[in-house]
């Protein structure tokens, strides 16, 4: 018997869609009333969704899905395996061919038709805003208005994607590393185009990626921190990779990475961080300022070890996990994938996948 249906709420009156960024339970898992089930976001807001009933959660969506207001995310049932039938409640007039190819792309039908006519790749259009015909025309003519030629340089040119706070830290780090020439910045905020961030020109939005590759700029640094949603950071890496960019490992001159440590492409290690002997940093993870990753630790891809976190030896952290500021762990534990550990938490036992540990709490292996 279906006890309750979990629907997508309206977070923003101007946005009929949201993105499902976290699922905290497995399909068929027993849950209590008030348990955290989902986190969803629009371009302007994010919200957590809790269970209104005690029972078994039956998932009807998956992480990363773009869902319409009123769509069913899950139902709560009396048993874990009873049959369920839910009719879709989204826009029945939208065909699969009309859905955005990227999870966060919102584009009008006339703009989509114009993009096809002008040969504009949808993947190069900006996210976080409604793409109109005007935006598509700007994308089509963008490279005609911007000089993307670069003077000869002894060092290879490197692109920064993002113009916010994390990008500033990346820019300063690259300057201190001293072996790259910064070609410029791309940011999907069109208001930044033509301005400077730390003295570096914002060339435009993602529409310039193909033109930059043609000019021989094939190295990039991801300047999107993704502290709220690591999925956004992952999407930027995928966007750049599909455009033909490669990601050098970036290690601040004031960081210590022991010679026996193994580092993957696209990793970022910031000032005063320490990475110990035989530690492994998988591609595109981040060890932030003053963090300690002790000997024999292993950090999964896209995971963020935040400033001041202290990981004891032999700690294994999965992919897409956030270990918050000032977190301390005991030796030899395993922290799963998709985990969020709040600032200042003390972790004394293994942490399952997709677990959320509140800031300042002890984790001893069972829910508090």
pLDDT at 6 over 80: yes
Q: How far apart are CA 290 and CA 310, in angstroms?
A: 9
- Show contacts of 147-152: CB within 8 Å, 24+ apart: 148/203, 148/208, 148/211, 148/212, 148/215, 149/215, 150/181, 150/183, 150/215, 150/216, 150/217
Supply 158's token pair: 């490197």
H or E stretch including 7? strand 2-7
Q: How far apart are CA 359 and CA 1, in angstroms?
A: 37
Residue 240, phi then psi, degrees to nearest 5: -65, -40
Residues found in the chain = 368
pLDDT at 145 over 60: no
CATH number at residue 163: 3.40.50.20
Domain count, the chain: 4
Residue 90, phi then psi, degrees to nearest 5: -80, -160
The answer to the question of residue 89 being in a domain is no
The answer to the question of residue 94 being in a domain is no
Domain end, chosen from 209, 243, 277, is at: 243
| Host domain of residue 129 | 100-145
Residues 276 and 233 reside in one and the same domain: no
Inter-residue contact 92 to 70 (CB < 8 Å): no
* Predicted TM-score of the model (pTM): 0.65
pLDDT digits (tens, 9 = 90+) for 13-43: 566 778 888 899 888 888 888 888 998 877 6
Residues 234 and 274 reside in one and the same domain: no
pLDDT at 120: 79
The answer to the question of residue 85 being in a domain is no
CATH number at residue 6: 2.40.50.100
pLDDT band at 128, cuts 50/70/90? low
- Comparing 171 with 4, the larger pLDDT belongs to 171
Residue 173, phi then psi, degrees to nearest 5: -65, -45
Closest CA to 129 of 102, 155, 149: 102
Query: How is the chain split among helix, strand and coil, in percent rounded to 5?
Result: 20, 30, 50
The answer to the question of residue 184 being in a domain is yes
The answer to the question of residue 132 being in a domain is yes
pLDDT digits (tens, 9 = 90+) for 180-220: 999 999 998 878 888 999 999 999 888 889 889 989 999 99
Residues 217 and 324 reside in one and the same domain: no
pLDDT at 146: 62
Residue environment code for 3-24, b if the CB has 16+ CB neighbours within 10 A, otherwise e: ebbbebeebeeeeebbbbbbbb
Residues 185 and 259 reside in one and the same domain: no
pLDDT at 341: 94
Domain end, chosen from 196, 225, 243, is at: 243
The answer to the question of residue 119 being in a domain is yes
Inter-residue contact 317 to 335 (CB < 8 Å): yes
pLDDT digits (tens, 9 = 90+) for 271-330: 999 999 999 999 999 999 999 999 999 999 999 999 999 999 999 999 999 999 999 999
At which residue do the structure tokens 């010679």 appear?
A: 259
Closest CA to 273 of 301, 296, 304, 252: 252
pLDDT at 141: 64
pLDDT at 93 over 50: no
Inter-residue contact 350 to 364 (CB < 8 Å): no
Residues 199 and 229 reside in one and the same domain: yes
Strand spans (E) along 65-115:
66-68, 72-77, 106-107
At which residue do the structure tokens 């699922």 appear?
A: 23
Average pLDDT taken over every residue of the chain = 85
Q: How far apart are CA 206 and CA 195, in angstroms?
A: 16
- pLDDT mean over 169-181: 96
Q: How far apart are CA 44 and CA 90, in angstroms?
A: 20
Residues 212 and 117 reside in one and the same domain: no
Residues 345 and 316 reside in one and the same domain: yes
pLDDT at 336: 96
Sheet of 200-204: strand order equals 196-197, 200-204, 181-186, 157-161, 219-222
Q: How far apart are CA 215 and CA 181, in angstroms?
A: 14
Q: Are strands 286-287 and 268-269 parallel, antiparallel or unpaired?
A: parallel
Strand spans (E) along 32-85:
36-41, 46-50, 55-59, 66-68, 72-77
Q: CA-based Rg of the chain, rounded to a whole angstrom?
A: 22
Please, where are the H alpha helices in the chain? 109-118, 133-145, 165-177, 209-214, 230-243
The answer to the question of residue 255 being in a domain is yes
Residues 64 and 109 reside in one and the same domain: no
Residues 334 and 255 reside in one and the same domain: yes
At which residue do the structure tokens 């024999």 appear?
A: 296
- pLDDT mean over 4-11: 83
pLDDT at 84: 65
pLDDT at 92: 33
The answer to the question of residue 336 being in a domain is yes
Residues 50 and 67 reside in one and the same domain: yes
Residues 357 and 256 reside in one and the same domain: yes
Residues 68 and 104 reside in one and the same domain: no
């Amino acid at each position: 018997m279906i006890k309750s249906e979990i629907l997508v709420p309206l977070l923003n009156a101007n946005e009929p869609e949201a993105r499902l960024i976290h699922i905290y339970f497995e399909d068929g898992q027993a849950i209590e009333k008030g348990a955290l089930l989902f986190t969803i976001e629009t371009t302007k807001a994010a919200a957590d969704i809790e269970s209104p009933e005690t029972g078994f959660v039956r998932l009807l969506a998956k992480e990363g899905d773009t869902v319409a207001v009123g769509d069913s995310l899950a139902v709560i049932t009396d048993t874990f395996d009873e049959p369920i039938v839910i009719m879709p409640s989204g826009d029945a007039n939208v065909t699969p061919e009309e859905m955005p190819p990227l999870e966060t792309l919102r584009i009008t039908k006339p703009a989509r038709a114009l993009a096809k006519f002008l040969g504009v790749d949808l993947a190069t259009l900006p996210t976080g805003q409604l793409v109109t015909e005007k935006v598509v025309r700007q994308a089509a003519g963008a490279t005609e208005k911007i000089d993307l030629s670069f003077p000869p340089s002894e060092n290879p040119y490197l692109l920064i994607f993002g113009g916010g706070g994390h990008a500033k830290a990346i820019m300063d780090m690259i300057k201190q590393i001293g072996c790259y020439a910064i070609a410029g910045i791309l940011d999907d905020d069109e208001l930044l185009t033509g301005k400077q961030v730390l003295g570096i020109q914002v060339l435009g939005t993602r529409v310039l990626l193909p033109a930059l590759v043609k000019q021989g700029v094939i190295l990039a640094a991801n300047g999107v921190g993704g502290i709220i949603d690591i999925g956004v950071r992952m999407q930027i890496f995928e966007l750049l990779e599909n455009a033909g960019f490669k990601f050098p490992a970036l290690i601040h001159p004031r960081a210590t990475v022991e010679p026996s440590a193994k580092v993957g492409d696209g990793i970022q290690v910031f000032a005063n961080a320490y990475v110990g002997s035989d530690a492994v940093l998988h591609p595109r993870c981040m060890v932030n300022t003053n963090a300690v990753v002790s000997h024999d630790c292993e950090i999964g891809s896209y995971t963020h070890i935040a400033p001041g976190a202290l990981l004891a030896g032999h700690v294994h952290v999965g992919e897409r996990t956030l270990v918050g500021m000032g977190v301390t762990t005991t030796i030899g534990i395993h922290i799963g994938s998709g985990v969020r550990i709040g600032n200042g938490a003390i972790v004394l036992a293994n942490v399952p996948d997709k677990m959320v540990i509140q800031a300042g709490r002890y984790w001893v292996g069972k829910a508090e």
